[in-house]
Amino acid sequence: MEPFPHDRIQLPRNMIENSMFEEEPDVVDLAKEPCLHPLEPDEVEYEPRSSRLLVRGLGENEMDEDEEDYESSAKLLGMSFMNRSAGLRNNASGYRQSSDGSCSVPSLRTMVVCAVVLLIAVSVIMVIYLLPKCTFTKEGCHKKNHTMELIYPLATSGKRFPWAKTRLPSNVVPLHYDLILQPNLITTKFAGSVQITVNVIQVTWNIILHSSGLNITKATLTSAGWNQAKPVEVLEYPVRDQIAVVAPDALLVGQNYTLSIDYSSNLSDTYYGFYKVSYKDEHANKSWLAATQFEPLAARSAFPCFDEPAFKATFLIKIKRDEQHSALSNMPKKVTIPVAAGIVQDEFSVSLKMSTYLVAFIVANLKNISKETNRTLVSIYAMPQKLGQVEHALDTAVRLLEFYQKYFHIEYPLQKLDLVAIPDFQAGAMENWGLITFRETTLLYDDKTSSAMDKKLVTAVIAHELAHQWFGNLVTMEWWNDLWLNEGFATFMEYFAMEKTFPELQTDEEFLKLRFKTMMKDSLNASRPISSVVQSSEQIEEMFDALSYIKGASLLLMLKKYIKHDSFQAGIENYLHNHSYRSTRSDDLWDSMNEITNGTLDVKKLMKTWILQKGFPLVTVKRKGKSLYVQQERFLRSVESENWTSDASYLWHIPLSYTTSNCSSILCPYAYLLDQKSATIELQEEVKWVKFNADMNGYYIVHYAEDDWNTLINLLRTDPFALSTKDRAHLINNIFSLVGIGKVSLLKAFHLLDYLVKENHTVPISQALFQLSLIYDLVEKRGMPNLAARVVERVEKLLGSKIDQQTWTDNGTLSEREFRSTVLAFACSHHLGNCSTTATKLFNEWKASNGTKSLPTDVMKTVFTAGAKTDDGWEFLLSMYTSSVSEAEKHKILEALASTEDVRKLIWLMQTSLEGDLIRAQELTHIITTVSQSLPGHLLAWDFVKENWEKLIRKFHLGSFAIQNIVTVSTFQFSTEAHLLEVKTFFESKSEKISQLRCVKEAIETIQLNIKWMERNLATLQQWL
């Protein structure tokens, strides 16, 4: 799944009762534990006292781990014995000391007591060690295969629910689903029936599976050995979205059974499950469609199923619909038959073996264009009035599909591939096998209103979702703790495929910017390992973040550069071939890589240090003659005192790369594997300078000794192009990151930026503007307008000539066009030069033409923003927003509307988007992000979040990417103790589940870091400016 990509890093994609779960421990730090295997998130989950039941006796489907029972009992008994011994020692009445210091002989009573205690102790030991097949618990001895007292929840009927875990048991597995659905777009309800063929792995009386919000009306069970279907009891436990089907007879090992369930429900009014969407048709009439979004946990709200990624099965889907609508699903349509007056049924071909979260179906009135490639029919679907905006997507999808098939040496296995633009869709896109769904802005491209960056966005999202057809669909992670195997790989392949297929888009530069932003998130103490223990729905939702996507992709890039491209490609081919139609863990990937490296490098040993530890290393380099002294520690933006030191237990195996002043293009960059805390690298000759982490292909930050920093700063001033574009941007990023932890002075970072007067490339300038904008935002939001103005003056001094050179056109390379958009947007927002005057003039001309005059697409948003500063301009833009059919244009208009400083208009925008009628709720995150950037808006955004919190988490789900983003953007500019207390108090006043969300912890830590940054650097900033 592609998270909503307007700001992929606040990243960076896609729930129940309060505080019902015990908190799972974090993954252990790698160097602290010799065992590097991730913890299994399959622990028993204890429910609140009000919803649990103590049951004695035999328990169906329970763990039979006698060793664990034994160990726990022994510890319990040992504690009791020690406490009693301590009590005896404290009383100390058995022995008495005489006045001369000698011990008197113990009394007869004392000796008897001691003998009894000793006899009891020996008896206990004999019971524990000598009785065969006995598990000792607090209730006594339980012989093998007898279950200790267990805690079972209560079903809604009041009966005992026969399963006590969040994860489903593995004693019954699904093989095939026959699913019939009939959505009614008038009543917005749907009816369904499902027949699930299951195979029994272990004898049981119960089938445990998922169901959420479904009204089950009938359930039966059949078997080849039974004469007829037998009715079964269905117990429901909605806290965990589980149902238990109680069989009339024992279900036997190796036998197949068919479970049939009839049910009904409402189409969802959120963005999850089988949900309804309203839209205006080509005649401006309100219409409805129904679409699905099942990842990660919502298939269970459309049909009862085994809703975990490892439970793969085949699916036969039938959709009953009004004959004026059309239906799509994962597989090609096989036949359509009439079933009632005005109602037809579409039957689709049986699917390949896949996970439930990849099942998809749509009922709507859509139009499409198609093209065949390599026996696969590729089609792009959209609203009829927007069909003219799909040509770019079709061409892009065909080219990328051909590239992936050649690169992986595995053909796309389906006969068709549909890409569908959904009018209201929260995520950026969703990789459903054969039926990929998109937000309209990520699939539609309009030559008249889409900018160069819009084109790159559409291409990137298509590349990401097509990569998922192999990484995620063909081979799927076993559980959500390894989500990065899906998303990290799809993100890596997205940029790699675009670099090979569309080199003119220069997407490697975008990937670099995202790595910089992700490392900001990953440097917080609230970060997590990319392979993390997850169990609750909120924890699973929170896995869809920048770490799974961008950090995962960054680690794959680092590995590819280290083991070289051919070995990397062979390794992933091996992985895909070995595990097709199966589920995997991270180790399966590393094992496939090790088969290729064949003992020359232990990829598993190297990469486990990166996926099982949170954060990343700081590599410090000291140069002395021909020797380079390097050492590593964890890079952590700490809120602790100045004398805080990094946790010494962290250790990574770091594939270092570096260039020098004497580097030849054949040998550069040099490589060295740092797998210890420190090491010495010997150069063949002395050099003038050395630059580590060539092109920032490694996931680490570099700090240099004072002299080496001065040398690199001087190099940028005298000969900046001796370093690559990415290396120049990397130095800017690293030095400001080091300012944040007090390793480098702010003054030195500003001295480095002085070279920008000679810079001519987008990436370094964009990184400099990003860093200076962070500083500007902090001082402006602190109520220091004069100091904020001086920051802008400094930028104008460095970049003023480049701003003046920009033309208001769409001419140039894509990099030049992006640069124009960036610097003109900055200049107009801060009233530099004649930028605002030119933008206002262009807006007035466009308004006078009633929006028909063509504007340069790359500066369109800047022009709209200038126009939105007046009441007339704002109202005109709003009217154009409601009538435009170009999603690219509407997106730019909306951002301009949210840039006003009129408080009433800002409140109206956020509230209207939350209601989801005039402005769709899918836009709310984007609106809050834009509103929070202005001085009055950042407080309004936070107030809006507080006042509407319950509505927000109902609409977007707790832990979802939308909620993560909303929490982050509404708080990240605070830098006072008062705001820190306010944010803490607000979230603590909610449930413990909410206060423990990772995004909440990150928000609080970010405010603390902002406070510390201001304390450390404010005086220097005032002095320098």
Planar angle of CA 690, 696, 702, nearest 5 degrees: 55
Would you state the structure tokens that stand for residue 329, as one six-digit string? 């699903």
For residues 330 and 360, the answer to whether their CB atoms sit within 8 Å is yes
CA distance 17 to 34: 37
DSSP assignment letter at 27: P
Residue 376: beta bridge partners? 373
The DSSP line for 420-438 is EEESS-SSSEE--TTEEEE
Query: Among 308, 431, 440, 465, which one carries the catalytic annotation?
Result: 465
Planar angle of CA 592, 594, 598, nearest 5 degrees: 130
For residues 1022 and 998, the answer to whether their CB atoms sit within 8 Å is no
DSSP assignment letter at 52: E
Q: Residue 664, exposed/middle/buried by CB under 10 A (0-12, 13-18, 19+)? A: exposed
CA distance 846 to 481: 51
Which residues, other chains included, contact 592 with Cβ-Cβ below 8 Å and sequence gap of 6+? 571, 572, 574, 575, 578, 579
Would you state the structure tokens that stand for residue 398, as one six-digit string? 């065909």
Task: Provide the total of helices (H) and of strands (E) in the chain, helices listed first.
Answer: 30, 33
712 phi, psi to nearest 5 deg: -70, -40
Q: Residue 684, exposed/middle/buried by CB under 10 A (0-12, 13-18, 19+)? A: exposed
DSSP assignment letter at 481: G
- According to DSSP H, which parts of 266-378 are helical? none
CA distance 1025 to 763: 25
CA distance 244 to 858: 57
Q: Residue 29, exposed/middle/buried by CB under 10 A (0-12, 13-18, 19+)? A: middle
Helical (H) or strand (E) element with 486: helix 483-501
DSSP assignment letter at 546: H
Residue 185 CA: distances (Å) to CA of 252, 277, 304, 599, 834 = 43, 10, 21, 60, 53
Residue 1022 CA: distances (Å) to CA of 663, 779, 789 = 41, 10, 12
CA distance 519 to 776: 21
For residues 995 and 988, the answer to whether their CB atoms sit within 8 Å is yes
For residues 639 and 1005, the answer to whether their CB atoms sit within 8 Å is yes
Going by C-alpha positions, the residue among 208, 297, 215 that lies closest to residue 246 is 208
582-584 and 475-477 as β-strands: parallel, antiparallel, unpaired?
Answer: parallel
CA distance 748 to 744: 7
Specify whether 465 is catalytic.
yes
Task: Please tell me whether residue 299 adopts helix, strand or coil conformation.
Answer: helix
CA distance 210 to 356: 11
Which residues, other chains included, contact 872 with Cβ-Cβ below 8 Å and sequence gap of 6+? none
CA distance 67 to 281: 65
Query: Is the four-CA dihedral 590, 514, 1002, 732 of positive or negative sign?
Result: positive
Q: Residue 201, exposed/middle/buried by CB under 10 A (0-12, 13-18, 19+)? A: middle
Going by C-alpha positions, the residue among 447, 478, 443, 440 that lies closest to residue 464 is 443
The catalytic residues are: 465
